[in-house]
Amino acid sequence: MSTPSPSPLDAPLSELDPDLGRLITQEEARQRDKLRLVPSENYAFPAVQEVAGSVLNNKYSEGYAGRRYYEGQQNIDEVERLAIERLKTLFGCEHANVQPYSGSPANLAVYFAFCSPGDTVMGLSLDAGGHLTHGHKVSISGKYFEAVQYGVTRDDHRIDFDQVAALAREHKPKLLWAGITAYPREVDFDRFAEIAREVGSVLVADMSHISGLVAGGAHMSPVGRAEIVTSTTHKTFRGPRGGMILMDKVHKKAIDRAVFPGLQGGPHNATTAGIAIAAKLATRDTFKDYAAAVVTNAKTLAEGLLSAGIDLVTGGTDNHLILCDLTSKDVPGKVAAQALDRAGIVCNYNSVPFDTRKPFDPSGIRLGTPAMTARGMGTAEMTRLAGWIGEVVAAPDDEAQLSRIAGEVKDLCDQFPAPGVPSA
Ligand SMILES: *Cc1c(COP(=O)(O)O)cnc(C)c1O
C-alpha cells in the first residue's frame, strides 16, 4: 500500500506563490520597521492571528448557536457562545451579536433592524470627524435614508450639542448615531442619551475606534447609555477584522434577525474565535494598562507637537488620536503625510473641521497611538516622534532629512518588537 501523494495544490505558500509570499514578507518588514500612526490600525494579538488562519475558517454555520442550518456545529456553537458570554462580561451588556463581517455591516444591520428606506437618521458629519456609515451622502446610509448631519462648534471644534438637540427636536430621527473616527475628545454618551430620550430616537453608539479604550476603562462606556452599541473588533480592541453589536435583551431578536438572515450568510467562525480571545485578554490588568498608556501617549505626543508649533484641532486629545491642522504651516495634509511616510512615519491626511481645502487634498493629518503603544513604546518615544514630525512638516521636501529620520525611526523600532510580526 502506498500513501496517497499530496496534491500540488496543497503546497505551502512559499512554494506555491513566491510573488505573494514576497509581498507578505515586505509587509511584515513595513509593519516592523516603521511607526504606524493610523489611529484605526493596530497589531492584533498574536493569538488572534493564530486562530484567524485556523480550520475554523472551513466551517459553514448559518444561524445562531443551537439553531443552525448545517450539522457539525459541536465546536462552532461553543466558540460563538464563548465570544458572546465574554463580551457580555467585559462590557456589561445583556446580549452581543458577533457575526457582522466588519464595522460597516454591523451598522447596516442596525439600519435594517430599525429603519425603513426614507426614514430619518442623524449622525456626525464626516468632515467633523464622523463615519461614512452615519449618513454621509455617498454611503447607503445617506442614499436610502433621510440623513441629517450634525457637526462641531466653530469656536472650540467640540461636538455641538445645542445643534444636536435642535436638529433632533426638529427631525425626530429614528436613529441617533454617536461615534467618531477623527474626533480627538471623549464622546459624552450621557448628553446623547438625554437628547435621544427626549425626542424618542434610538441612540446607537458606534465605538469602533474606542472599544479597546472602553474595555480597558480609559473612556466612558456607551453600554447602559445607548440602546445599541456597534463596534469594529480590530482597532483599539486588537482583535480580528470584524464587527460586533452589543444591546439590551429587548433588541436581541431584531438585531440577530437583521444580521442573519437579513444581511449576511454564514458567519466567519475564525473571526468569532478571535473576538473571544480579544474579549478574554481585555479583562486583564495588562490590557487596562495598555488602554491607559494609549491615552497617556497621545497626550504626550500632542504636547510635543504643540511645542513644535503644530496646531491641533481642539488643542489636544482625550483619547487615542490627534488631528493636526497644518494650515498655518502652509503644508497641505497630503504633502505632509507623504513626506512622513518617506521618513518611516505612517499616518493619513484628513480634513479638519470647516476645512477650506477639498477632502482629497485637505489641511490636516490624523495620528494615533494604539499601534505604537502595543509595541511597548512610552512617553519618551512620543516626545522623539513629535520632534521628527515637527522636522518633517517644517521641510517636507528635504529628502536627506527624511532618510536620516527614516533611519532613526528604524533604530527605534528595532528596540520595540511588533506583536505578531516575525523578526527580520
Ligand atoms: C472603522 C469604523 C467603521 C467601519 O468599520 P469597517 O470595519 O472599516 O467597515 C464604522 N464606524 C466607525 C466609527 C469606524 O471608526
Segments in 132-248 forming alpha helices (H): 140-143, 161-171, 189-199, 211-215
Question: Does residue 379 surpass a pLDDT of 80?
Answer: yes
> What's the grid cell of residue 391?
522636522
The answer as to CATH 3.40.190.150 being correct for domain 293-415 is: no
Distance, CA of 179 to CA of 122 (rounded, Å):
11
**pLDDT at residue number 266:** 97
Question: Is 357 a residue of the active site?
Answer: no
Q: Which CATH architecture has domain 51-281?
A: 3-Layer(aba) Sandwich (3.40)
Question: Is 62 a residue of the active site?
Answer: yes
The DSSP output letter for 262 is: I
Distance, CA of 372 to CA of 298 (rounded, Å):
10
**pLDDT at residue number 52:** 95
Write the pLDDT tens digit of every residue in 31-85. Answer: 999 999 999 999 999 999 999 999 999 999 999 999 999 999 999 999 999 999 9
CATH 3.90.1150.10 residue ranges of the chain are 293-415
Distance, CA of 364 to CA of 323 (rounded, Å):
7
Contact 43, 420 (CB under 8 A): yes
Contact 308, 387 (CB under 8 A): yes
What is the layout of strands, in order, in the sheet containing 175-179? 95-97, 243-247, 228-232, 202-206, 175-179, 120-124, 146-150
Distance, CA of 166 to CA of 153 (rounded, Å):
14
Closest CA to 354 of 188, 156, 132, 192: 156
Burial degree of 42 (CB within 10 A; 0-12, 13-18, 19+): buried
Confidence of residue 313 (pLDDT cuts 50, 70, 90): very high
Pick the atom of ligand 1 nearest to 206's CA.
13
Pick the atom of ligand 1 nearest to 134's CA.
11
C-beta of 149 in contact with ligand 1 (< 6 A): no
Contact 142, 156 (CB under 8 A): no
> What's the grid cell of residue 14?
512559499
CATH 3.40.640.10 residue ranges of the chain are 51-281
C-beta of 325 in contact with ligand 1 (< 6 A): no
SS3 277: helix
Question: Does residue 400 surpass a pLDDT of 80?
Answer: yes
C-beta of 133 in contact with ligand 1 (< 6 A): yes
Extract long-range pairs of 58-62: CB within 8 Å, 24+ residues apart.
Answer: 59/269, 60/266, 61/266, 61/267, 61/269, 62/260, 62/261, 62/265, 62/266, 62/267
Question: Does residue 116 surpass a pLDDT of 90?
Answer: yes
Distance, CA of 203 to CA of 14 (rounded, Å):
49
Contact 244, 214 (CB under 8 A): no
Contact 118, 163 (CB under 8 A): no
Beta strands in 117-274 (DSSP E): 120-124, 146-150, 175-179, 202-206, 228-232, 243-247
Contact 236, 209 (CB under 8 A): yes
**Distance (Å) from CA 234 to ligand 1 centroid:** 10
**pLDDT at residue number 3:** 80
Mean pLDDT to the nearest integer, 237-242:
98
Confidence of residue 158 (pLDDT cuts 50, 70, 90): very high
Question: Does residue 359 surpass a pLDDT of 90?
Answer: no
**pLDDT at residue number 222:** 98
Question: Is 59 a residue of the active site?
Answer: no
Mean pLDDT to the nearest integer, 295-310:
98
**pLDDT at residue number 1:** 61
**Distance (Å) from CA 167 to ligand 1 centroid:** 24
Q: At what angle do helices 189-199 and 161-171 cross, to 10 degrees?
A: 20
This prediction has a pTM of: 0.97
Quickly tell me which residue has 528596540 as its cell: 415
Write the pLDDT tens digit of every residue in 85-102. Answer: 999 999 999 999 999 999
SS3 172: coil
C-beta of 232 in contact with ligand 1 (< 6 A): yes
Give exposure, 332-360, as e/b (b: 16+ Cβ within 10 Å): bbbbbbebbbebbbbbbbbbbbebebeee
C-beta of 179 in contact with ligand 1 (< 6 A): yes
Residue with CA closest to ligand 1 atom 12: 208
What's the one-letter identity of residue 397? D
What is the dihedral sign for C-alpha 239, 338, 127, 329? positive
C-beta of 366 in contact with ligand 1 (< 6 A): no
Mean pLDDT to the nearest integer, 377-392:
98
- Cβ atoms within 10 Å of 150's Cβ, excluding its own: 25
**pLDDT at residue number 424:** 85
The DSSP output letter for 3 is: P
> What's the grid cell of residue 281?
485578554
C-beta of 102 in contact with ligand 1 (< 6 A): yes
Looking at 181, 232, 233, 314, which residue is catalytic? 232
Burial degree of 158 (CB within 10 A; 0-12, 13-18, 19+): middle
For the chain, what is the mean pLDDT?
A: 97
Percent of the chain with pLDDT over 70: 100
Looking at 241, 288, 299, 410, which residue is catalytic? 241
Question: Is 398 a residue of the active site?
Answer: no
What is the dihedral sign for C-alpha 303, 305, 309, 315? negative
**pLDDT at residue number 5:** 85
Pick the atom of ligand 1 nearest to 181's CA.
15
